[in-house]
Structure 1
Amino acid sequence: MSTDTATSPNGTTAESPSLNILAQYTKDFSFENPGAPRSLQARERAPAIGINVNVNANPLSETEFDVVLSLTAEAKEGDKVLFNVELAYGGVFRVTGFPQEHMLPLLFIECPRLLFPFARQIVSDATRNGGFPPLLIDPIDFAQMFTQRMAEEKVRAQVANTNVTN
């Protein structure tokens, strides 16, 4: 495999930015239907469904990263759980030629954006195979999630600094 290079105006060569998926995998998966077969009966109204999303990234080498998209979904009718789905879906990504300041957005926005359709399909198939209508998770704004996470970490760091100086 060859690497693309570009020559800058000062004559130096730089690697062209590249983001490649080397592997995708299901790291952990669980589907629970604790009330079956009663939970499969027709109901007058749709259950309340709560969905949580998380993204983690860990370096495997200087250019390869393991990014894991975690999705959990729980359907409830009152206080009874109808189903619970937990999925950790990962990908190994090779990232080369990007400036350091672009690495976190790549790992926490672009990589999960590439993984999401596959994870969404697994959740949809699991709920359908569990006897429920397929749960089609709406598209996720990973950029907004990343911005919110960075703001929360900034606040935590400020609180930690305040506690240290007091």
Structure 2
Amino acid sequence: MADTPENKADGAAADQTQQPQVKMRVLAQYIRDLSFENILVQKGAQGDVQPEVKVSVNLDARKRATENQYEVITKLNVTATSKSDQTTLFVIEMEYAGIFHVEGLPAEQLHPYLMIECPRITFPFVRRLVSDISRDGGFPPVNLEMIDFVALYRNEIARRVQEQKEGQPTN
């Protein structure tokens, strides 16, 4: 029997149905840990202060006891210093977690998926919280720039490779 266009189309459809489909659901999101330290008020300083903000981000992912469930944690540190004298005005330290159900993903793609796609989903909530916390603390709202989670992931992989080359243990 010759391959006719109809037969080829049926074969392609059969190939697509045999490939596993990636299924992902967000089961929960929550603040694991939060600290806001208003150093400016503690020192009793007053006046109009223009903060310069520095942000550091770390990510962590853990397998949960339930099959195909993972906890992905975005660890954020926001430090605002005075532009005029470089004194620290406030510090926000937050760990924001999401519980994800992920299945149908090849094992070699799971780690990048958890460290890139899952934080992209939770980032708008982290961004809103940081803005609200800084505003409610008496400062201009800190509106975080978008984070390039792909670059963050690549930098972390490169750092780990470099540490292995130097013979240092990785975290």
Q: Distance in 2 between matches of 1:79 and 1:148?
A: 28
2:105 equivalent in structure 1: 98
TM superposition shift of 1:40: 5.5
Q: CA deviation at 1:48?
A: 2.3
In the other structure, the counterpart of 2:9 is none
Whichever residue aligns with residue 62 of structure 2, its letter is N
Find the structure with the greater CA-based Rg. 2
Structure 1: which 5+ residue stretches go unaligned? 1-6
Indicate which of 60, 69, 78 corresponds to 2:74. Answer: 69
**Structure 2 counterpart of 1:112, from 97, 106, 119:** 119
Q: Which of structure 1's runs of 4+ aligned residues deviate more than 3 A?
A: 11-15, 37-40
**AA paired with 1:94?**
H
- Root-mean-square deviation over aligned CA pairs: 2.2
Q: How many residues align?
A: 153
Confirm or deny that 1:144 pairs with 2:151.
yes
Deviation at 1:18, TM superposition (A): 1.1
Amino acid at match of 2:105: F
One-letter amino acid matched to 2:148: D
What corresponds to 2:136 in structure 1?
129
TM-score by length of 1: 0.83
Match of 2:51 in 1: 47
- Structure 2 residue ranges without an equivalent (≥5): 1-12
Q: CA deviation at 1:28?
A: 0.3
Match of 2:62 among 44, 58, 62: 58
2:91 aligned residue (75, 84, 106): 84
In 1: Cα distance, 2:131 partner to 2:115 partner: 23
Partner of 2:35: 30
Deviation, structure 1 residue 20: 1.0
Larger proportion of helix: 2
Identity score, percent: 34
